[in-house]
Chain A
Amino acid sequence: MVAFLIWALIIVLILVVLAFMGYYNRFITLENAVDNALSQIDVQLKKRADLVPNLISTVKGYAKHEKDIMKDVTESRKALLAAKTLPARVKAGADLQTALKSIFALAENYPQLKANENFLQLQQELSAIEDKIAYSRQYYNDSIMSYNITVERVPGAWFAGLYGKKHKEQLQITAEEKAVPKVSF
C-alpha cells in the first residue's frame, strides 16, 4: 500500500514537472511567433520606404512643379524611418501610403508619366507591397490572438501568472484607414 502511494506520488510529480516545462516552451514558441510577425511588418515597411526615392526621381522627370506632393512623400518616408515604436511606424506607414496615393492620382494628369515603364513597374511593386503589409499585420494579430488565448485560458492562465506572461495588445486599425474614402466630383 505504501509502495503504491509512493509510486502514485512520483507519477504525479513527473506530470507536474512536464506540465511546467510544456507550458514554458509553449509561451516561448508563441512569443517568438509574435516577434517574427512583427519583424515581417518591418521588412515590408522598409521595402516600401526603399522604393520611394526611385519613385520620386522618376516622377520629377515629368512633373517638376508638383513640389508639395513630393515633399509630403519624402517627409512621410523620413518619419517612417525615424519612428521607433510599432504604433508610430504603422502610423507613419499609413501616412506614406496616403502620400503615395496622391502621387498615383497625380499621374493621371501626366500621360507621359503614366506611360513610363519604370513608373508602371514601381506602381505595381508598391501595390504588391501594400497587400503584403496588410497580410503581415493580419498575421501579427493572429499570432497575438493565439498567444493571448493560451495565456488567458485555464490551465494556461495559472502558468502564465507564474512566468509573468501578460495579455498583449493587437494592432488597431487607424481611424483614417477605417474611414470610407470620400469621392468628390
Chain B
Amino acid sequence: MKSERLSFQDEINRNKMKSTLLIACVLVFFIAFGYVISLALDPGYFFSIMILAIILSVTYTIISYYNADKIALASVRAKPADRIKHAALFNAVENMSIASGLPMPRVFIMESEQINAFASGRDPRHAVICVTTGALQKLNKQELEGVVAHEMGHVANFDIRFMTLTAIMVGLVAIAAEMFLRSLWFGGEKRDNGNAGAVLFVIAIFFAILAPIATQLIQFAISRKREFGADASAVKFTRYSPGLRSALIKIKHDSFSQQDVKRYPKAVAPLFISDPFRKKLSALTSTHPPIEDRIRKLEKM
C-alpha cells in the first residue's frame, strides 16, 4: 500500500516538473525568436507591431479562456445531465468530487456512440465534465468511475488553465512568425546593413518558419504528458487502477461509425480522454499518448 501510494504521487510530481520545463522551453524559444527578428528588422518598426499583435491575441485568449467551457460544450452540443435519469453518472461524479476534495463540477451528456469524455472550465470552481451516451451504455460502474476520475484529474491538475496558457504562447509565436514573413513583402528596401545583416536575416527567416512548427510539437508533447498525469490522479482518487484500465481497453476495442466522428470538431479533440479520430499518425504529432502505453502504465500502478 505504502509503495503504491508513493508511485502515483511520484508520477504526478514528475509530470508537473516536466510540464514546467516544457513551458520554460517555449518561453526561451519565444524570446530568442523575438530577439533575432528585432535584430534583423528595424527594431522600432518591429516592436510597435509586436505590441499590437500581443494586445490583440491576449484579448482574444482572455475571452476564450473565460468561456472555454461554454465554447467546448456548445461545439459538441452537450446537454445538462439529469440527476434521476443519469443517476449512475451523477454518483460517479459525486464520488470523485468527494475523493478529490474538489467542488462538484457541472455534469453534461453528449450524444455519441463512442466511449469518450472531457473536462473543461478554467479552474475547479468552474469545472464541467461531459460524458458521451456511448460511455454510459458501454461502461460498468467501476469503469465509468475511472473515466470520471481521469477527468477530475485534469481538473485537479489545472490542466485546462495550463493548456490554455500553452495555446496562448503557441498562438503568439505563430502570429509573430507570420507577421515577420509578411513584412518581407513590403519591407525590402530597408535591408542595407551589410553582410552581418544578411546573415541575421536568413537566420530570422529560418526561425520564422521553424518556430510555429516547433511550438506546436511542444504543445502536443505537453498534452500527452497531461494525459499520463490525469491517469495517475485517477488512480489516486479511486485507489483502483483496474477500473480505468478496463475502460481504456474497452475504448481501444470500441467500434463506432464514421458518421459519429463528425460530431467532434477538431479543435476540441485534445480535450477528450481518447482521440475521437483515432488517427494513425506519428507519435510526435498526436495529442494523446498511445492507449497501450497508458494501459501498461496503469498496470504498474
Looking at the assembled complex, report how far the CB atom of A80 sits from the nearest CB atom of chain B, in whole angstroms.
19
Looking at the assembled complex, report how far the CB atom of A142 sits from the nearest CB atom of chain B, in whole angstroms.
8
Contact (Cβ within 8 A) A143 B101: yes
B95 to chain A: which residues have CB within 8 Å? 131-132, 135
Contact (Cβ within 8 A) B98 A136: yes
Q: Say whether A157 faces chain B, with CB atoms less than 8 Å apart.
A: no
Contact (Cβ within 8 A) A135 B99: yes
Looking at the assembled complex, report how far the CB atom of A180 sits from the nearest CB atom of chain B, in whole angstroms.
17
A132 to chain B: which residues have CB within 8 Å? 94-95, 98
List residues of A whose CB falls within 8 A of some B CB: 33, 36-37, 40, 44, 124, 128, 131-132, 135-136, 138-139, 142-143
- Most-contacted residue by chain B among A33, A44, A136, A139 (CB, 10 A): A139
Q: Say whether B250 faces chain A, with CB atoms less than 8 Å apart.
A: no
B96 to chain A: which residues have CB within 8 Å? 135
Knowing A128-B91, A131-B91, A132-B94 are in contact, say whether A37-B101 is a contact too (CB < 8 A): yes
Bound Cα distance A139, B91 (Å):
16
Contact (Cβ within 8 A) B239 A36: no
How would residues 60 to 102 of chain B score, 1 for a CB under 8 Å from any chain A CB and 0 otherwise?
Answer: 0000000000000000000000000001000100111011110
Task: Give the number of residue pairs across the A-B interface with Cβ within 8 Å.
Answer: 26
Looking at the assembled complex, report how far the CB atom of B16 sits from the nearest CB atom of chain A, in whole angstroms.
15
List residues of B whose CB falls within 8 A of some A CB: 87, 91, 94-96, 98-101, 239
Q: Name the residue of chain B whose CB is nearest to the CB of A36.
A: B101
Bound Cα distance A18, B91 (Å):
43
- Most-contacted residue by chain B among A128, A135, A136 (CB, 10 A): A135
Looking at the assembled complex, report how far the CB atom of A10 sits from the nearest CB atom of chain B, in whole angstroms.
30
Contact (Cβ within 8 A) A33 B101: yes
Contact (Cβ within 8 A) B239 A138: yes
Bound Cα distance A137, B94 (Å):
14
Looking at the assembled complex, report how far the CB atom of B291 sits from the nearest CB atom of chain A, in whole angstroms.
27
Q: Known pairs A36-B101, A135-B99, A136-B98. 14 more at Cβ < 8 A?
A: A37-B101, A40-B98, A44-B98, A128-B87, A128-B91, A131-B95, A132-B95, A132-B98, A135-B95, A135-B98, A138-B239, A139-B98, A139-B99, A139-B101
